[in-house]
Structure 1
């Protein structure tokens, strides 16, 4: 892979490109918000906690490519479908690690998500771990996914019996954390037995929030303005490292013998070079999977449940498909999940409106011209605003803000240009676990639709919280048990001896 830039600077911007203006000739042709302030830039009408949603508003005002300035740095945003497709050209553009993603490098280092393109551990880890997301491996994870889903439904049954609403984002976070921890690393955080989130979740949210805040404060002022937050972030990172070190040590001491992601990290050699991941890189990959592997999926499920509760006619249609495809099967098998085509459309439409990873950055491998109109020097980069790309009226129509799963029926998908739906990024650096996430989310939606009527709180209006990923804020639903005559999966019901999911599960302490 060509190396687009020199060694990145500490803030994640390539050396020689201290602002986008230095890498974008004729930058003045690209519109920017009005009312710029000296030094501060485009802060009028912008909130510190909602940078992505502010960018959506500016995108509607300024068009398919625009720029924003903050504290002397200029950033170029792209959302027009033609321009986004151009940036997806792997021969001319590559992933750029910058903004909030680079702020995660102190904890994730050269993990799959945060590695720079020239760092060799990315390709090594990708090649070693890719078989862990094959169809055969996915089928092995399915029983453990069922097991964790059974713990969720038991928790929701208790809430329904008590007439209490459920905390959707909180419970989806518990579900997805337990799923990736168990299937990938053979560990149990005991999330559903806790009144409060596991300390790992608290520390994870802290690091994500801190990384987001770094984008809103001028670098010279960080030691003064974020002194207390920096101390808390250091404590959060230390806790994450200790937790993962304990997880890895337990596996090494136990001898392994399974075929989950952790065993692959510890024991698999690269098929061509014979290299193995270093202990430091194993830690970084585990943190990457535990954080990115559950945070985005929990958001996707939460948004999908919000829309299903608000559209009971669509929920009924999805439920009818579940009952038709699964029939009287209490515990659906792996293939039955893949046949839930409409449920998958619900998930895709939720990811269209609110992609939980709402943007990705691309940098020029060599000097080039974006869209035939915008010259870019080697190393210059732009941020693809996925949440706005998914709302481009030229692609999705004048009703692009409306929730409509039929946008993803087979005929509609074939009729759309490529690179218009990018919830998992693009190219070689797209999310390695996307099929894992989609299978897990489709399975869980199917189980919940079959078991419950989803009742929204009448006064709730969707609010979105940003911490690098997106999540509905304060979403609560009331439940009504359905008389299906089928029991929910019980803990351990789907686990079979010898499967990847059947690896020993160890409880991680506080």
Structure 2
């Protein structure tokens, strides 16, 4: 859970993206790809559908600090451990809202993820909602997580009985949407009773994809080149707003607390809790924005993490066997593990951490300078200048992770190995005061789900499948399906549940 912030002058707002205004006085010292084309920039070999993976490929050639240009916009990327550690200094750098994140502001506004640093609703919402991610609150959400996972396993049992493989990304999306909707807002989207994704998911994916596409076209031409996509995005936003407004209205009319720990769920806190010092409440508009933020961010990244983890478990049966043995040993024949038992799955947690190392599902975050400074003693930067931390490359830095950094090895997160590494080299949830407020929620949910699935099933990969990654600001395996074998009932708790 992100910590509270100290009072500080608001960070300067972005001045635009023209090179002269980028705020890097010695930009010429930062390498860029060869064969630049006037105005178009570094487009040779680029794929507009996979900009993150393109940037990772370029990073391998150009090193820990590099730049790219597209349509007159210049972007500085950073992934070397010493530079990222410097950017983590909260006295000199802060979150920068730019690129695709800023493109989400029409739907999320000044929600926790998309708010500018100077907007007061960020700190207000953070302080009001932080207790909703305390240990007591998390324990209150645990039973709902168990119930939603039971719906998933019933869904998978039906597929297994019919001899079908399972759609891992689709089903993980159903799972995590129902989990955040149920624990946070007392709502059920009925995802497992549908053959197709819920329209909320379709609209959400549409807004994320549109936000990313805006970065791939010249701003003056976006209205022309993306005319139909812009209309669809407006319809998607209208649907998201209407859905959330109905959810909030139903809670106001019901007049009682939703499920969860003492103090109610996240929606109760948004509607009823005042700031502990100022007495302020969230406005109705901001409540809508926060609900959308949690529904989108609260399930999209976790579903990707679970999908990648299941891919790696299926491809590494020796890892799966070790994780499964831990689950059997720690949980025994308990049908429904308690809240405290989840944290005891230390190896399963390592599997999850190693998955997030290789494929952090929120794969980048931006930092901007609070004042004129020098990055890692090498690169002068002016107030408001910003850089994008390329997390998948930070997590693959061979100087930190070794020559086998591309390999999947959960033992990298053995306690001794973690202590031996420098700080700020593992950042799947961002950094500092604006890091993901729900990261403990996501980690508890994902560890619980992996434990339950490992205890119940053996996973069989498709030998012809090669991992493909789809990008929509977040990352997700594309087309991943797995076969299932039900483990003996004695290994899955009383009555085989």
The answer to whether the aligner puts 1:475 opposite 2:480 as a matched pair is: yes
Report the CA distance shift for 1:441/1:161 in structure 2 as closer, same or farther (over 3 A): same
Report the CA distance shift for 1:19/1:235 in structure 2 as closer, same or farther (over 3 A): farther
Note the 1:349-498 alignment, pairs <5 A: 349-485=354-490
Note the 1:154-303 alignment, pairs <5 A: 154-258=154-258, 259-303=264-308
Report the CA distance shift for 1:119/1:482 in structure 2 as closer, same or farther (over 3 A): same
Report the CA distance shift for 1:482/1:473 in structure 2 as closer, same or farther (over 3 A): same
Distance in 1 between residues matched to 2:22 and 2:204, nearest whole Å: 34
Does structure 2 retain, via aligned residues, the 8 Å contact 1:169–1:302?
A: yes
Deviations 1:291-332 (A, max 9, x none): 000000000000000000000010000000000000010100
Distance in 2 between residues matched to 1:250 and 1:321, nearest whole Å: 43
SS of the residue corresponding to residue 249 of structure 1 reads helix
Does structure 1 retain, via aligned residues, the 8 Å contact 2:18–2:74?
A: no
TM-aligned CA deviation for residue 3 of structure 1: 4.0
Report the counterpart of residue 50 of structure 2 in structure 1: 50
Does structure 1 retain, via aligned residues, the 8 Å contact 2:334–2:493?
A: no
Q: Which structure 2 segments of 5+ residues have no match?
A: 1-6, 259-263
Deviations 1:18-75 (A, max 9, x none): 4475310010000000010011000101100000000000000000000000000110
Distance in 1 between residues matched to 2:240 and 2:491, nearest whole Å: 39
Aligned mate of 1:333, from 311, 329, 338: 338
Report the counterpart of residue 500 of structure 1 in structure 2: none
Distance in 1 between residues matched to 2:494 and 2:181, nearest whole Å: 19
Does structure 2 retain, via aligned residues, the 8 Å contact 1:257–1:263?
A: yes
SS of the residue corresponding to residue 174 of structure 2 reads helix
Report the counterpart of residue 8 of structure 2 in structure 1: 2
SS of the residue corresponding to residue 339 of structure 1 reads coil
Does structure 2 retain, via aligned residues, the 8 Å contact 1:450–1:484?
A: no
The answer to whether the aligner puts 1:323 opposite 2:325 as a matched pair is: no
Distance in 2 between residues matched to 1:257 and 1:322, nearest whole Å: 34
Distance in 1 between residues matched to 2:75 and 2:291, nearest whole Å: 31
The answer to whether the aligner puts 1:140 opposite 2:140 as a matched pair is: yes
Deviations 1:249-305 (A, max 9, x none): 000000023400000000000000000000000000000000000000000000000
Distance in 1 between residues matched to 2:197 and 2:493, nearest whole Å: 24
SS of the residue corresponding to residue 128 of structure 1 reads helix
Report the counterpart of residue 497 of structure 1 in structure 2: none
Distance in 1 between residues matched to 2:199 and 2:267, nearest whole Å: 21
- TM-align CA RMSD: 1.3
Does structure 1 retain, via aligned residues, the 8 Å contact 2:271–2:287?
A: yes
Distance in 2 between residues matched to 1:120 and 1:5, nearest whole Å: 13
Does structure 2 retain, via aligned residues, the 8 Å contact 1:331–1:489?
A: no
Distance in 2 between residues matched to 1:236 and 1:179, nearest whole Å: 22
Q: Which structure 1 segments of 5+ residues have no match?
A: 9-13, 494-510
Report the CA distance shift for 1:76/1:20 in structure 2 as closer, same or farther (over 3 A): farther
Does structure 2 retain, via aligned residues, the 8 Å contact 1:464–1:472?
A: yes
Report the counterpart of residue 502 of structure 1 in structure 2: none
Does structure 1 retain, via aligned residues, the 8 Å contact 2:165–2:484?
A: yes
SS of the residue corresponding to residue 485 of structure 1 reads helix
Does structure 2 retain, via aligned residues, the 8 Å contact 1:359–1:385?
A: yes
Does structure 2 retain, via aligned residues, the 8 Å contact 1:456–1:476?
A: yes
Report the counterpart of residue 28 of structure 2 in structure 1: 28
TM-aligned CA deviation for residue 161 of structure 1: 1.0
Distance in 1 between residues matched to 2:278 and 2:20, nearest whole Å: 38
The answer to whether the aligner puts 1:348 opposite 2:350 as a matched pair is: no
TM-score by length of 1: 0.94
